[in-house]
Amino acid sequence: MESPIHRIAVIYATAQGSTRDIAEFIADDLAGRGAQVELSDIEHAPELSRFDTVVLGSAVHDMALLPVATTYLHTNHTALAATDLWLFSVGLGPALRGPVGRVLARRVPKKIAALRDSVAPHEYHAFAGRFDRDRVSRPARTLHRLMGGGRYGDLRDWRAIRGWSARIAESLGLPEATTSIVQP
């Protein structure tokens, strides 16, 4: 007996591209395991009733998901509740170091926690993104250093992203990837 093909929507809201890159990586990994995957930015998201699983990611700004992601989650609450939802965010928090940074990195901001709890995803995971020094103001750079930051550039942990994607695949009973996905 042939196992069913899992239909997965990977939807993302990005500000500078980090979230899109992570969503693409997850979509490629799940497709490489035999799932039927559709990747879409949130503004062109497909009809959710066609999918068994939804993986939704958003960039984090001002300790909240992007407004377009928040609106999408509220607007599609009923459809998302009827599917296997996996939620991720991409921001600076997970990359913070030092005593203050480590505490902040483990905390889910209140707005994100409230939204996460309202849609009850299978799992939520926060990933670090890109933090380019030339794209942020001097006060933001100072705050970054005080919170335990210090590094700039691509702070994404591709091993953690691959591991989270593997957890999604395992929960769906998907086989090991047939090809190795190369991170950006």
Evaluate whether residue 180 is within a structural domain.
Answer: no
Instruction: Print the domain residue range for 57.
Output: 7-172
Report yes or no on 181 lying in a domain: no
Render pLDDT for 45-69 as a digit per residue (tens, 0 to 9): 999 999 999 999 999 988 899 999 9
Domain-located, residue 97: yes
Give the lowest-confidence range in 6-15, 17-26, 63-72, 152-161: 152-161
Has residue 14 been placed in a domain?
yes
Number of domains in the chain: 1
The per-residue pLDDT of the chain, averaged, comes to 85
Tokens of 169: 């695949």
Q: Using 50, 70 and 90 to split pLDDT, how confident is the model at 140? A: low
> Which of the two residues, 83 and 40, has the higher pLDDT score?
40
Full-model pTM: 0.87
What secondary structure does DSSP assign to the chain, as a single string? Answer: -PPPPPEEEEEEE-SSSHHHHHHHHHHHHHHTTT-EEEEEEGGGPPPGGG-SEEEEEEEEETTEE-HHHHHHHHHTHHHHHTSEEEEEEEESGGG--HHHHHHHHHPPPHHHHHHHHHH--SEEEEEE-EE-GGGS-HHHHHHHHHTT----EE---HHHHHHHHHHHHHHHT----SSPPPP-
Whole-number Å distance between alpha carbons of 61 and 65: 6
Answer whether residue 53 is part of any domain: yes
Residue 13's DSSP bridge partners are 58
Predicted pLDDT of residue 148: 54
Q: Is residue 88 part of a domain?
A: yes
In a domain, 183, yes or no: no
Does some domain include residue 184? no
What CATH number does the domain containing 85 carry? Answer: 3.40.50.360
Which pLDDT does position 104 carry in this prediction?
62
Mean pLDDT of 9-38: 95
Q: Flag whether pLDDT at 1 surpasses 50.
A: no
CA angle 25/29/35 to nearest 5° reads 130
CA distances from 34 to 4, 11, 45, 168 (A): 10, 18, 21, 13
